Structure 1
Amino acid sequence: MSHLPTVPLPARRSTRFRLVSMVVGVAVASTLGLAPVSSADTNGDKKKLDADIVQLRLALEDTSKVLANAFVELHRIRAELPGAQKVLTEADAAQVVADRHNADVATALAVARANEAKAADELARNSRDTQAAQDQLGNMARDAYQQGGVSGLSIALEATSPEDFTNRLVMMDTVMRVRGATLRGLDTMRAEGRAVEAHLVAVRQQVAALKVEAETALAQANAARDVAAAAKTKLDLMNEAQTAYAATVAAKKATEITNIKSMQAQSNALAKILAARAKAAREKAARERAARAAAARAAHRAVPQYAPFGSTNGFLSLPVNAPVSSEFGMRFHPIWQQWILHAGIDFAANCGTPVYAAAAGDVIMATPEYASGGYGNRLVIDHGLQGGAVDLTTTYNHLTSFVVASGHVARGQLVAYSGTTGTSTGCHLHFETRQDGTPVNPRLWL
């Protein structure tokens, strides 16, 4: 006798798998940076980091390009490492979830296929049993037909004795009971067969759905592994880059210290030269005033009076047509971790931009890059005593080339082209104003 399989259809389990599949998909997507909230946070962090990098580069304008770039990239990588580690952690977690989900779906598919095979076997067995019962009924009908049928009258007429009559009645009763049982069993088997067939259809539908889900789960697991591998590779590369940039910063610091000392020595030497020129200019001016006073007295004329030194604002013209990128003043150097005077104004001029004399004066220096101690190609113009009090000098640094190297120049005359020679991170003009050799804020004169 056939019977129905006892394993129920796991409809709820299929629904759970779909929910888990959705969760796995979201987890894998988030590790790829596709989740909206994470993207917003990441974009905010990136904007802040980019702003920090801009300020960092401004603070490193008078640092060698190699050292500045290495330090900036080291800062960037150290800021990004926690995020990269978080991505890797999330990717590893997503991979674990995806692999577990893939294994669960594979197990469910194996169970469904076993149920399918069992239901198919049950249906085949039911078909065989049903056919056997039908054959049995057919044989019984054929035998009854061949014997002319069995009835109470034939038993009475054909009986040879009372005992034979009784035996015939018992036999007829047995035959009728067997036939009835066979008919009832056939009805039951047919009902079971219909149930088994419906169960098999449902199981086969489940198998088909699980096959699709298994393919999706496998794809998600593979994607999660790829994301985790990419995150691991990125993190490894960032750690390697951090080590390399740190080594570059360490190696270049000694050279940079030498450059800074050289620039300071050049600045001090220039200050002494300009101070001596200022002293000589004032002494000359004093002698000329004394001579004019003596001549005036001899001629009984009033001694000319000169206006005292007052406001200097507006005396100098802008040396280049470009925006200011860095002002004069003390600023904190992120590498040396100390405050250093930025002794001029930086103009964000592209390399090759014309540079003009800020006022009329004499070119007293046109120092090439190799001799300037980090200032690059440097031009110095002496504008003489201003207001009879201070000697004003302007310097133009990191030039690409000189147009004039000596002699007198007029205000606005082309004297050079901007560049990035010497200790510089990029194209710009470093413009200084010095009073008696001491750097002062050019804003006082511009």
Structure 2
Amino acid sequence: MRSPRSAHTTPGTAYPVRWLGVSVIPLLRNSFVLGLAAFMLLAQSALIPARATDANEPESSSVASDLEQEQEASRLELRSVADEAELAAKALAALEGDIAALRADQQELDRKIAETAARRTDLDQRITAGEQSMTGLSERQESVRLSLLSRRSVLAEVLAALQRIGRDPPPALLVSPEDALSSVRSAILLGAVVPEIRAETAALAADLKELATLRQAIASERVSLAAALEQNAAEEQRLANLAAEKAALQQESQRRLDRERQRAEALSVRSSELESVIASLAEEIVSLREAAEAARKAEEERQRQLAERLERARAFAAVAVPDKNRIMPAYQFSKLSGTLSHPVKGETVRHFGADDGTGHTLAGEVLATDQGATVHAPADGWIAYAGPFRSYGQVVIIDTGENHHVVLAGMEQIKVAAGRFVVSGEPVATMGQTRFAGSAALSLASERPTLYIEIRKDGQPVDPRLWWNDDMSSRKASNDT
């Protein structure tokens, strides 16, 4: 509801009152300290946030500890990966050396294979020459054989004559003339034949010797060529086996080299990932530590402020609890922030500064309560006004001192009169059954009775939530439309 803007004076009012810029009675300005109740209230209010903060600190420490353990595990894994990478690098170097040696061996084998091929060519040429020589020797052998065959009849005659001479030798010359004539004839015949026989015999012996020599040379050449061919074939086979073995070793070494390279690349990628994880964890740990340090400083500041409040509360508690029959406020109203209770039990449906339904902002707050509920004075003070006001029902204004005023409106029955001094918690009015017309502009979901509360300082409205100690001031007001 909107606050009235004009000054007025109501019959039965002990003091002139203006809703804005209220003219208040002179009050005693001396300060009183808070009592034992304020001390207990401050002590209780201090325990809850302290416990909440203490509960959060182990959680932050646990998270930071978990991150540090994870970071240490990542470091250990990184060291293991680095060791594996070093071993992989050594294996790569060894394999590359082996492959280089195998390539050199392969080149040497290729050279020897080329030499063997050249020897094979030379042997082939020798074999060809040998075959040609053997062909010539064979032809010569055949020629000698044919020559011998052609002279077989002459040889036969010579041999027959020689045999006859051997069986029947010629008689001596002193024998008979017939015998001498035979002897002469035989001598003449032998004298004519023997030189020829000797020549034929020498030629025959030479041919036979040459034939034997040729046969021996042919046999020897065949043996030599066969041995050379066998040796060359064995060398070719040995070199071919070595080449195949070296090629297989080179292929296997190349496969191992490729695997080691892939492993080294994988280790490098994993190492980079681990370094990134460690850096990220380090940043997160630093962030958590900074946040924990900020929280610690904030908690220290809160504890410091709390200690100051508790110290004030202890000082206030040292003073005797105010007499319930007192005739002036026991405490300075400005020192009571966060310690007052709401005048009535209920639910805050509109807060200070909200839309009041007429296009203006609310200068106080609205509580939905029960019918017949008792309204109590929230603080010590003098009743500056008590009575009806327009369509807002019964209105009570309490002067709490230090130019502070508490306005209560929307009640049905008032139990106090203007000029009277009331203490905190004293009943001042009761609520009706429904809302008054002055609250109709507020769009609320129910027709429950509503109490309008306004606190003013030097005639200007201030947020009442600064003074309440219960949770109604922190509840979210409903948006009843």
Q: TM-score range by the shorter chain?
A: 0.3 to 0.5
Structure having greater relative contact order (Cα 8 Å, sep ≥ 6): 2
Normalized against structure 1, the TM-score is what?
A: 0.41
Q: TM-score, normalised by structure 2?
A: 0.38
